[in-house]
Amino acid sequence: MMELEITKDIVCMNPACDDYGIEGGGNVLVRRRYGADGIRFLRCRRCQAEFS
């Protein structure tokens, strides 16, 4: 099983989320990386919104 990377420098982009815009909370994790550049596909642990 792949360990998910928790980010401290990225915030939730969902305005409806209680953690929206809160830095340093560790609420966004990297679900996977894709493409030649390893772009991060992210998920908020609070609202489950996904974004990159």
pTM beyond 0.85, yes or no? no
| Strands of the chain, DSSP E | 5-7, 28-34, 39-44, 50-51
pLDDT at 25: 79
pLDDT at 6: 78
pLDDT at 2: 56
pLDDT at 7: 80
Helical segments of 1-52, H only:
none
Question: For the segment 1-52, what is each residue's pLDDT rounded down to a tens digit?
Answer: 456 777 888 999 999 999 999 888 788 999 999 999 999 999 999 999 999 8
Q: Dihedral of CA 6/12/16/18: which sign?
A: positive
